[in-house]
């Protein structure tokens, strides 16, 4: 195989992958997992939650909080594209919310903001929300 034919093979394979993704996921999900926001691990977080989901994806959410307002949010995951999209969108959704408002968000709201998730990936939104709730619970425990 020549360099040119190998390059053409790679480009065709990439087009097929993108076509399959676009049939399965909303534009919002694709955008969030291809270019995730707030994907990092910080050391000076005010609150941290970490959960391993039923599909063996792990998610960690780190929050910066001032006067009960989430001023910044970050996530890390070793999960699939849907899990990355959920973490990315959730961290954007909660910035500026007070911790009670953030805690009361639902995974259904996250799914709506992402314009849906395939049935087999609905658990990704639950993992993100459960991890956020764990971070907030850990924050509240530390405040007492």
pLDDT (tens digit, 0 to 9) for every residue of the chain, 144 residues total? Answer: 677 888 888 888 888 877 777 789 999 999 999 999 999 989 899 999 999 999 999 999 999 999 999 999 999 999 999 999 999 999 999 999 999 999 999 999 999 999 999 999 999 999 999 999 999 999 999 864
Note the pTM of the prediction, 2 decimals. Answer: 0.89
CA atoms 123, 128, 133, 139: torsion sign = positive
Q: Which domains does the chain show, CATH number per domain?
A: 27-143 (3.90.1010.10)
């Amino acid at each position: 195989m020549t360099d040119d034919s190998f390059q053409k093979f790679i480009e065709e394979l990439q087009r097929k992958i993108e076509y399959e993704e676009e049939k399965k996921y909303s534009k919002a999900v694709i955008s969030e997992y291809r270019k995730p926001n707030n994907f990092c691990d910080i050391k000076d977080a005010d609150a941290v939650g970490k959960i391993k989901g039923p599909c063996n994806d792990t998610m960690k959410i780190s929050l910066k909080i001032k006067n009960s307002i989430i001023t910044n949010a970050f996530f890390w995951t070793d999960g699939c594209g849907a899990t990355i999209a959920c973490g990315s969108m959730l961290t954007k959704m909660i910035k500026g919310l007070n911790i009670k408002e953030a805690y009361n968000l639902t995974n259904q709201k996250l799914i709506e903001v992402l314009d849906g998730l395939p049935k087999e990936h609905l658990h990704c939104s639950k993992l993100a929300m459960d991890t956020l709730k764990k971070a907030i619970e850990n924050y509240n425990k530390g405040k007492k």
